[in-house]
Structure 1
């Protein structure tokens, strides 16, 4: 077992490699290691989502907050701070921006092709990677063609082709569950010693729901923790001195439940694991968002007592775990550790400033693919009569959500027009994907009136989800909306300037259902938590729920157009899951939006204010949005919005009088 780790600040070492060519300062473990002690640095990228260039293809402009080319530029200097190091990726590298879609849907992968994100990674000397959930978005065949181009191994211990074997390990894994690297490390005296570093990988079991069309009948997953308990002892038996878990899973709860999506805290508690790199949640750990969580020591950078790191997303940070190892006979043990998520940019007032420049070798490896992607995203498909923006998508009916719903309704109505459900009303559920939050004050959809290009459609709908239709009752519909209304804080009537939004509630779970009208009573507490747990059974935030001007009957049946994530149970919405799906389309939501715009020629995305807040006398609330939203504030339907000063980290503050 590890000894307690000394708390050691790394702030004084940030400047050592903040930019290429700067003075390199050795990490204290390298500087102070004694005979039979060695410093091993684990460097992590995670959730790259095909962001190789520091370029936002949706906005069609450079962006200093992203890009493996930027992260790469500090890797050499960070390696130089340490006597011994390894570099790993934690998954979700294959999907997430238009370059990923261009390769998957337009260019394809021919025999011998190397995917652009793999081209970039191949220049950097990765030692290993695991899979994330988004690796499966384009199907297994495509994924394995991509993996074949990498000059480093991939591991995943909880993805199998068949049933669980009696050992609990599975009888036929798609990938090796782990690799053991045989390396030489230098100790504090300069002497070299052999070390065996084991790397084991994990993916969220929820891929079986999220990508069921690609995986049903072809793959299975097992619980992350149980898979670790089965494989880690074998790694030790095979001589692994140190075991590092590559967990594409958030840090999550301290109490075990089977098949948790965010299981890294429990995984860290598995005996035999020495350190853990995490991801999936698009956060940086250690960091302020993890203060006070059970089992998490944010100051020491540990979870369940083990050193851990989460390196942001899109290349925003490089995750670092530094281990001080001591040779105990013929093996090594961890005697001290630090962790850090080192950023590639900083915010100064409302502006971002790069801390690094791009590594030319990475950009050159991918330049041809980058140029082809730019041509792809700039192709016009139609026009819009009004701006498409999401600056107020969390507080009022919104044009960027409206157009998605219009397209989904159009498509599902046509798909079901001749079948058994042809006489049922078709509604549509859509959520804002780009609504600030972790993405920052510029992370909003903003398409001016005029031409609509593919890049704009990708901006409206970030993910290559496929369209699904679910059959629900009026009662199901109300609970669906009650879950969505959990994004709002409880508001006390008669009180001014109360915070409106719960920052822990993801915007992609704020479904607006078009085709019905309703109001949200903020004086009622949330009925469900952001994870779908029942909090207040008697609460009724959704009031005046009507269809065609009449109250919705709880027994009335509706078709709701949505996506495969929600239809598959994503977000844990009450009563919504695979058993409610009556149509699974072969088309992506993006493709449907493109077809709708092409057919319409010119679209009218004006929001119809089908949902509003219930009035509360002498009551006001505050919320943040991007500063560019100022030009649209006065035109928002159904709610009165006024400026209220500056928010935090570059956001603008606004007030709604209820």
Structure 2
């Protein structure tokens, strides 16, 4: 069924020419119609219960192992999710399994394959080696599929024993990058034990921003369409060919009015007529669940977007998405008469401890045993030595060594490149870097924590997670200020008149968008409202959180020009930062930021990236109590000069701290 020996030029999807496979029929009693809240069944009408299952955002987490810390991790791994798949199949007569994208990048195993082992025709990527044991029906592409380039993507997809669909990624010649949709003809069992033929249509979507985020790989080769526009183009045709239509949407859930081109467009997609169910992802959250409560059109308890059953199944294999549909047959065809949406976890937390709910699926473990060992050898290779620990426990409240080492390396590298260009050599070089691992939705273990002593590749990967490539943008002093204003949206507004506890960090703001710009000094006044909203648009024109912004001790010149070293994601418009929209790039380097850090450490031999405290939160009046959370072990690693006080346990396994910000 799959033509994926390379990234193929597809024939348009549909029933003609599609190979048929028999459905995997589970054992055990099926759930009753009452579980769906469905209408009473009519004796003369056939009714079928169809179980749709999906993984999403696996990011090469095939096994329950944290390669950054070089130890097992019960919160991740397809080998654990696979056990949920087996249980879900055993419960239901008609189960079908899908994946929602972001497969081949995101863990050191992904980098090991891309940078050391390599992929060629006939090779099997370990992500697909594991997935091939589970009888996936179909998958869509995620944005991180493009991080290593189209050739690597083509060889990787060629090792999958299931096809891919994506309706809004278009090749330069106007044809789809992969099939926009497919129809799978299945024999299913109805409630009376009889057999029915069911045509399941599947369409896929990727964030259109891939052409910005991976411009170096995609420019001149791939363009994208708005997700909703692509759905409006293809869904009517697909609907005519199928009985049930599933959207695999590697895009998240956000409210508000549709403007077009949204990165997180699943809620708008749900309004397109003809879609029966949606698997969403990209945001690394869980739906149904409280993460999306209160958004108009979203039922966070039932798991629907504008009434369409929807599931977001976490990330790194943390959950299995399950949508159960009850289908009723009439003269007009099949229709959805009832449903249930859920995300099943592989672990839970009890008294701050992680408790595994399932065991490994042996077939998945065995399929990647060799690449697991190869990855361990790869990440354990030493590249230098650190005089002091490098961690990100306090990266959101003070200048931090885990961000400092990135800026030191970026400044070192870009300065060398700029020196060879007469148009750039006299410009001051600044560096923008963010704390990638700073807790948040990643949990209390999601922090960089590199011990003093030998520094290995796994440690560099722990500091810099993504295979971004280095870019430098030319911006004005005014744009530097606005860049920092956008970054300062991380903080909640603090009321200086209150004396009760106030939470400092906005949990909805991704830490990877909290850019610190090194080479200037500044303070952040958190009593001001955020100047920018979550979408990067100005929402408080009179607000200015960035105060006392200086270059070399003098107030920054708004008209002066600066080079800012950053990465391809940010320079291409990722995060919607002023001065970084893809049009200000003046250095487009071939090297990854992570490789630059490795080279810097090798050149220095011994590193000691002590934070230079170029930024701080502006002092608050006495009596104002601001709090934040961090890892439990952070209490034993408080940096010298940082005035924080441990306050005990916080929800989700974190610890709470009070921050003193007086002058």
Instruction: Name 1:275's counterpart in structure 2.
Output: 277
Out of 548, 552, 558, the position equivalent to 1:548 is: 552
Trace 1:72-471 onto structure 2 (pairs within 5 A): 72-162=82-172, 171-237=174-240, 239-329=241-331, 331-419=333-421, 420-471=423-474
TM-score (normalizing by structure 1): 0.93
SS of the aligned residue for 1:230 comes to: helix
- Give the distance between the partners of 1:601 and 1:29, measured in 2 at CA: 66
Contact kept in structure 2, 1:48 and 1:93, CA below 8 Å: yes
C-alpha separation in 1, matches of 2:657 and 2:167? 47
Deviations 1:443-479 (A, max 9, x none): 1000111110000000000000001001111100000
8 A contact 1:30–1:83 mirrored in 2: no
Cα drift, residue 252 of structure 1: 1.8
Shift of 1:275: 0.7
Query: Distance in 2 between the 1:94 and 1:254 partners?
Result: 32
CA distance in 1, matches of 2:527, 2:198: 60
CA distance in 2, matches of 1:607, 1:94: 34
Please report how far the alpha carbon of residue 24 of structure 1 lies from its aligned counterpart in structure 2 after TM superposition: 6.5
Query: Residue 11 of structure 1 aligns with which residue?
Result: none
Report 1:580-595 matches (<5 A).
580-595=584-599
Moved more, 499-508 or 328-337: 328-337
The 8 Å contact of residues 493 and 617 in structure 1, kept in 2 or not, is answered as yes
Equivalent residue number for residue 166 of structure 1: none
The whole-number CA distance in structure 2 between the counterparts of 1:27 and 1:421 is 67
Q: For 1:628-643, what aligned pairs fall within 5 Å after superposition?
A: 628-633=633-638, 635-637=639-641, 639-643=642-646
Rounded Cα–Cα distance in structure 1 between residues aligned with 2:316 and 2:87: 20
Distance 2:306 2:569 in 1: 31
Secondary structure in structure 2 of the residue aligned to 1:593: helix
TM (normalized to structure 2)?
0.93
Q: Extract unaligned runs of 5+ from structure 1.
A: 1-22, 164-170
Distance of 2:86 and 2:649 partners within structure 1: 39
| SS across alignment from 2:495 | coil
Which residue of structure 1 lines up, in the alignment, with residue 485 of structure 2? 482
Q: Any stretches of 5+ residues in structure 2 without a counterpart?
A: 1-26
Does the aligned pair in 2 maintain the 1:254–1:265 contact within 8 Å?
no
How much has 1:574 moved relative to structure 2? 2.2
Counterpart pick for 1:507 among 489, 504, 511: 511
On the 8 A contact 2:29/2:92 being kept in 1, the answer is: no
SS of residue in 2 equivalent to 1:462: coil
Secondary structure of the structure 2 residue equivalent to 1:182: strand
- CA drift of 1:162 comes to 3.1
The alignment partner of 1:558 has SS state of strand
Q: Deviations over 1:358-395 (max 9, x none)?
A: 00100000000000000000000000111000000000
Q: State the shift of 1:160 in Å.
A: 1.0
Stretch deviating more after TM superposition (343-352 or 527-536):
527-536
Determine which of 68, 77, 83 is the counterpart of 2:78: 68
Equivalent residue number for residue 629 of structure 2: 624
Deviation readout 1:109-134 (Å, 9 max, x if unpaired) = 12210100000000000000000000
RMSD (CA atoms): 1.4
Structure 1 counterpart of 2:24: none
Which whole-Å CA distance do the structure 2 matches of 1:411 and 1:460 have between them?
A: 17
CA contact (8 A) 2:471 2:571 kept: yes
- Contact kept in structure 2, 1:54 and 1:69, CA below 8 Å: yes
Aligned to 1:36: 46
Q: What do the CA deviations read for 1:165-203 (whole angstroms, capped 9, x no partner)?
A: xxxxxx411211111010111111101011100000011
Equivalents in 2 of 1:30, 1:370: separation in Å?
45
1:523 maps to which of 509, 520, 527: 527
Decide whether aligned partners of structure 1 residues 254 and 531 sit closer, same or farther in structure 2, where only a CA change above 3 A counts. closer
Q: In structure 2, how many angstroms separate the alpha carbons of the residues matched to 1:555 and 1:91?
A: 43
- 2:603 aligns with 599
SS of corresponding position for 1:320: strand
1:9 aligns with none
Deviations 1:477-524 (A, max 9, x none): 000111111111111114332110000000000000111111111111
> Would the alpha carbon gap of residues 24 and 510 (structure 1) be closer, same or farther in structure 2, given more than 3 Å must change?
farther
- In 2, Cα distance between equivalents of 1:584 and 1:230: 35
2:593 matches 1:579: no
Q: What do the CA deviations read for 1:595-626 (whole angstroms, capped 9, x no partner)?
A: 00000000111111110111122122000000
Question: What is the distance in 1 between the residues matched to 2:491 and 2:427?
Answer: 31
Runs of 4+ in 1 over 6 A off after TM superposition: 30-34
3-state SS in 1 of match to 2:542: coil
C-alpha separation in 2, matches of 1:320 and 1:503: 27
Aligned to 2:20: none
Cα separation, 2, equivalents of 1:91 and 1:593: 29
Match of 2:13 in 1: none
Q: Secondary structure at the match of 1:591?
A: helix
Partner SS, residue 414 of structure 2: helix
Tell me if the contact between 1:518 and 1:542 (Cα under 8 Å) persists in the aligned partners.
yes
Q: Identify the range of structure 1 (175-184 vs 587-596) with the bigger mean alpha-carbon deviation.
A: 175-184
CA distance in 2, matches of 1:252, 1:538: 26
- 23-32 vs 150-159, which moves further: 23-32
Find the residue that maps to 1:260 and give its secondary structure.
coil
Q: Distance in 2 between matches of 1:526 and 1:260?
A: 22
Q: Aligned partners of 1:83, 1:269: CA distance in 2, in Å?
A: 30
Q: Given that residues 244 and 273 in structure 1 are in contact (C-alpha distance below 8 angstroms), is that contact kept between their aligned partners in structure 2?
A: yes
Contact kept, 8 Å, 1:29 with 1:38, in 2: the verdict is no
CA deviation digits over 1:335-359, x for unaligned, max 9? 1111000000000121110000000
1:646 corresponds to: 649
Contact 2:253 2:292 (C-alpha < 8 Å) held by counterparts = no
CA contact (8 A) 1:482 1:542 kept: yes
In 1, the alpha carbon distance for the partners of 2:178 and 2:486 equals 38
